[in-house]
Structure formats: C-alpha cells, structure tokens
C-alpha cells in the first residue's frame, strides 16, 4: 500500500521542530546549556559595558604606562603577575604598559561584534541564495550550486588574508573583518537551505499556495521560512564559535584588528614575545577565548538537539541497539562456553 501524503495541516504542524516556549523550557532544564548561556550573557554584558568597566578601574585601553615597566629587563612589568595592583587589576602589557583589564573587556566587544555580524551576513546571503536555488529555474539552480561549490573549495584563510591586506588601512578593521568572514562563509548555509527548500516544496501546503497563484517570494516568505527557521538557527549557532576563532586568528596573524584597538587575537600575537617573562599576559586572553568558544559550542549543540529532537532519539535508539548487540554475542559466548562442560558431564 502506497504511503499517504501528509495533509496541509499535518505538514504545517510537523514542519517546525518545536515551539519556541517548549524549546526554551527544555534548554533551561539542561545544566550545561544553562551554564553556557549564562557565560555568553555575562560576556555580552562585559562587552557592552566595556567603557564603563575600564572607567571604573580608572584606566583606558590605549594609554601607555612606561613608568610601570622595567627597562633593564627589556620592558617587563614591575611587580608580580604582570604588575597587578589596585590601579591595574590585571596588570599591564609588557613593552607598552597598557592596562590589560581594559584591553580584555574592549577585546570582548570586538570579538563578539565581529562574530555576530559575520554570522548575520553568512545567514542572510545563504538563505537568500538557497531559496533562489530551490525555487528558481534549473539554470539558476546550477549557477548558484556551482558558485556554492567553488566557495566551499576555496581556501578561506588565504583569501581572507589577501583581502585584509589589500584594503586601505583607513577602512574600519572590525567592519572589514565582519564583511570578509561573512562573504567567504555563506556557502554552507546556502547548501543547507537549498536542500531543505527542495524537500519542502513537495509538500501539499506549498503546492496549494503555488496553485493559488502565490508568487515565489510569497511562498518563500509565508510558507518556507517558518519551516527553515529551525535548521538555519541550528547552523548559525554552529557558525558563531567558528567566527570567533576566525577573527582571533586573523588578528593573531596581523591582518585583522590593528593597534591601538584591542582584540584577543592581537593580544595573543604580541604575547608570543613575552610569554616566558610574563605568562599572565598569554593566559588571560587565551583563557577568555577558550571559554567563549566552549560556551558557544555547548549552547549550539544544545540548540541543535532541542530544535531537532529526532537527532536525540536516533542517538538513544543507536545506543540501545549497540548495547543489545554487545549483550547478545556475550550471552551467546557464555552459552557456548557452558555447552562443552555440560557435554563432558553427560559423557562422564
């Protein structure tokens, strides 16, 4: 018997992975996701209040304090732990004497703004091109598909370094980082949206809208986008930590944010000269970068699981089958081992 096509009401009910309130409640019930969310909220508050926090300390991220450096030792800060004091809560930079706390909180602003902005650019371009490929003509689909394959095959890091190097220095570097990372990273989102669009366009409610005379733009906006929200949000949650690392990597290589603007990657780049004399200057930005990427990764994984409950159910089913599979042969082995003993007893 041939399987029945889902009705329009069933398709609409099954298309979203879960209601927003249900997903929110389930995320709050996950301790790891809750902890990661709190870390991200705290980092966001620190980034937003960076000028206030540095003003509360009484410092700013660009002022030099050469009097706090030991010139005889090559510019190492005076005192323990990089010159920690009541005026400089986390010490000062070797060689320049700039306040580390002020540069860390301002660096959080750069990292988060660039990562979020690049993700928005990637998602916007990817959704538009994926919908156009899935709803357009075969020629348009082939053209966008070929462009997507080329973008996926390009060495993004090499092209990013090249683009950052040729743009005039007067262009705002955070904005340039956002555009470069976003324009080089939309291909994955486009491929995902195209595949989902080709699947959703076969459903009854999309066909009904097409027969009713709805335009492609209206079909995409009213019928497809609500169903595409879950996979797109899931993929965006995965892109965020990747973009944080991309910004830090480009700044570390010297083509990203330029001094005196603070960036965690830039701080790590200059710390490579001083890590033996002042390890705190290396540990602080690297620890913040690690915590930020870990928090985004954990939260993104939780969002993916909650927006796609089938992934969790497949994992549970696979684990149960694996357990049953290992128990079966073990039990068979024990039975086979006892059979010769029983045979010997019967023979005796």
Contact 145, 133 (CB under 8 A): yes
Q: What is the mean pLDDT of residues 160-173?
A: 89
Q: Give residue-wise pLDDT tens across range 30-87.
A: 999 999 999 999 999 999 999 999 999 999 898 898 888 887 777 888 887 888 888 8
pLDDT the model gives residue 309: 57
Contact 202, 8 (CB under 8 A): no
What is d(CA 345, CA 100) in angstroms, rounded to the nearest whole number? 80
Residue 64 φ then ψ, to 5°? -95, 145
Q: What is the mean pLDDT of residues 10-20?
A: 45
CA distances from 1 to 4, 251, 331 (A): 9, 61, 39
Q: Which ranges of 272-308 does DSSP label H, i.e. alpha helix?
A: 280-307
Q: Indicate the pairing of strand 76-77 with strand 69-70.
A: antiparallel
Q: Is the pLDDT of residue 336 over 50?
A: no
**Burial group, residue 70, by CB count within 10 angstroms (0-12, 13-18, 19+):** middle
Share of the chain above pLDDT 70, in %: 82
pLDDT the model gives residue 319: 46
Q: Is the pLDDT of residue 330 over 60?
A: no
Q: Which long-range contacts (CB under 8 A, 24 or more apart) does 33-38 make?
A: 33/298, 33/299, 33/302, 33/303, 35/295, 35/298, 36/294, 36/295, 36/296, 36/298, 36/299, 36/302, 37/295, 37/299
> Which has the minimum average pLDDT: 176-190, 205-219, 231-245, 330-344?
330-344
Q: What confidence category does residue 281 fall into, taking pLDDT thresholds of 50, 70 and 90?
A: confident
Q: Give residue-wise pLDDT tens across range 107-142.
A: 999 999 999 999 999 999 999 999 999 998 999 999
The contacts of residue 16 (CB under 8 Å, 6+ apart) are 226, 227, 229, 230
Contact 265, 250 (CB under 8 A): yes
The contacts of residue 1 (CB under 8 Å, 6+ apart) are none
């Amino acid at each position: 018997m041939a399987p029945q096509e889902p009705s329009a009401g069933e398709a609409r009910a099954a298309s979203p992975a879960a209601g927003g309130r249900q997903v929110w409640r389930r995320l709050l019930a996950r301790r790891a996701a809750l902890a990661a969310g709190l870390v991200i909220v705290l980092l966001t508050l620190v980034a937003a209040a960076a000028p206030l926090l540095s003003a509360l300390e009484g410092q700013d991220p660009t002022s030099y304090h050469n009097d706090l450096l030991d010139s005889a030792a090559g510019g190492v800060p005076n005192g323990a732990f990089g010159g920690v004091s009541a005026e400089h809560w986390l010490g000062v930079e070797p060689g320049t004497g700039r306040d580390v706390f002020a540069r860390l909180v301002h660096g959080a602003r750069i990292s988060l703004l660039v990562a979020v902005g690049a993700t928005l650019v990637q998602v916007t371009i990817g959704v538009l091109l994926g919908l156009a490929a899935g709803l357009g003509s075969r020629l348009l689909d082939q053209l966008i598909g070929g462009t997507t394959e080329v973008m996926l095959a390009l060495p993004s890091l090499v092209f990013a370094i090249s683009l950052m190097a040729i743009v005039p220095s007067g262009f705002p570097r955070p904005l340039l980082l956002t555009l470069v990372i976003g324009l080089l990273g939309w291909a994955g989102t486009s491929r995902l949206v195209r595949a989902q669009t080709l699947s959703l366009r076969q459903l009854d409610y999309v066909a009904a809208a097409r027969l009713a005379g709805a335009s492609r733009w209206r079909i995409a906006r009213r019928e497809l986008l609500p169903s595409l929200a879950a996979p797109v949000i899931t993929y965006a949650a995965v892109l965020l930590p990747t973009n944080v690392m991309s910004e830090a990597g480009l700044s570390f290589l010297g083509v990203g944010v330029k001094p005196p603007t603070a960036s965690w990657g830039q701080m790590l780049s200059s710390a490579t000269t001083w890590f033996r004399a002042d390890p705190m200057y290396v540990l602080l930005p690297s620890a913040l970068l690690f915590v930020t990427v870990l928090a985004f990764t954990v939260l993104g994984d939780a969002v993916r699981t909650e927006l796609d409950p089938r992934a969790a159910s497949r994992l549970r089913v696979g684990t149960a089958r694996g357990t049953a599979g290992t128990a079966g042969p073990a039990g068979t082995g024990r039975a086979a081992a006892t059979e010769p003993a029983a045979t010997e007893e019967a023979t005796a």
